Chains A and B, each alone.
Chain A
Amino acid sequence: MQASTDGHSGATGNRVSKYLLLSAIAVLFLVPVAFMLVGAFKPDANVIAEGDSWKAFWPTNATLENFGDAFQRARFGRLFMNSVIIALPTVALGLLVNSLVGYALARLPFRGSRLILLSIVALTIIPLEAVAIPLLYMVSEFGWRNSYHVQILPFVANPLFIYLFYTLFLAVPKDLEDAAKIDGAGPATIFLRIVAPLAKPAYATVGILSFLFIWGQLLWPVLVTSGPDFRPLPLGMSVFITQPPISWGDIMAFALMMVLPLMAIFIVFQRWFIQSVASSGVKG
């Protein structure tokens, strides 16, 4: 679609208009983010009073008080820790477990593995929402409600991620594995020493996607946690905005601190992020 039809004359004007368009759209995407960023540093009264004018983007009476408030009033520290304690094991265990299944299906066929592959493809259709209520009943029977593991274990194995690993492992050239096999290496060694390092992009893809999902998850914590002890950030935020006295300055500080880690990871690993989202669409 690009420059092929542009002649040299007028190309500069054309380029300027392209940048103008791109920037205008960028403003639309950035306004709410900038609003949060500036609001986090303003006293509550200013956030509300200046919310309907350009002053919403000017840090009047800038202060760091909101951040302290978010820690005290919303127990941000605890909620943040909860989210980390939930997200890191889910992602790490998920990478291990899902890649092992993907590898077994791609390279170590066993009796029934074909059927299992088909079942896994079928399972990708079932969203969490379709099983949330019976799962709630099940974990209640186990006595698991209000814990970390109830927010970790159900999300470790994921049929979509298994399928992604499966297709990516199929694409890894087999020669190296065969060579290692001749040298007498067992499947575990081959997997850990040769295949997994070769499949780093696959791990980055799945790791980013699952972290993004687990960090933002709201429905399941609503069902299985009560009280702030095991509550993760998104639920903590939805509770905090209804907890009087409502202070929008504090809420914006909470919001900023909550998205900051993800933003930082995104800015550093931008290419990976975009690639992993792109590859989530390769199913069709």
Chain B
Amino acid sequence: MSNKNINSTIKMRGKNVDVFYGDKQALFGVDLDIEKNQVTSLIGPSGCGKSTFLRCLNRMNDTIDICKVKGEITLDGQNIYDKDIDVVELRARVGMVFQKPNPFPKSIYENVAYGPKIHGMANSKEELDKIVLKSLKRAGLFDEVKDRLDDAGTSLSGGQQQRLCIARAIATRPEILLMDEPCSALDPIATAIIEELIDELREKFTIVIVTHSMQQAARVSQKTAFFHLGKLIEEGATEEIFTNPINKKTQDYIMGRIG
């Protein structure tokens, strides 16, 4: 665990990241820092590579055979693509919430308990119960489901399901939470609840969120990175990007102008 820079505010860093799907290149030399305890949002038009970059951060791209990742991505200073990095351990440290809520077809309790169980985080049922309770409370879901923890996870509404997925992701006490368009399938109220949740979670976690909604990125993040056609065009403080972007491409995108 050398090169671990404890005092740095940078949690994850991508250096010159190239991603290929077979012969097609999806990301071109991306350099991006993710700050600790901040929400970083990745914005850009469809197919610009923001989801691809996000999935590199917890090596979900490994599941796609033809995907190749070049360059360096470090977590606390250590390259996550090193040979001696256990991808299972990585994914316990870097959690993910997906676009469409995908709770396991199990009970609510089981959904949240699964991660801690397989990572051996609890030695007894009481400890497991505590972890589940805490995660559900943190995700703001506990009050709504405390009487029916044995009901199926799929019996909840869309917004509740997404919060369940968030609870599930944070149950393994990850350091970073990756969110891939988490609200795109939800109504505005549920979206607002989750945005509030993101704000609260920021205290303990580092969050990276991919979003199609610039308004959401503007509301929720402190740092914004704009991707276009596989390149990182501009990154900076959210306020700056949305009031006074430097790059014309960025400006055109956020103002809704054609090319």
Determine if chain A interacts with chain B. no
Q: Which residues of B contact A (CB under 8 A)?
A: none
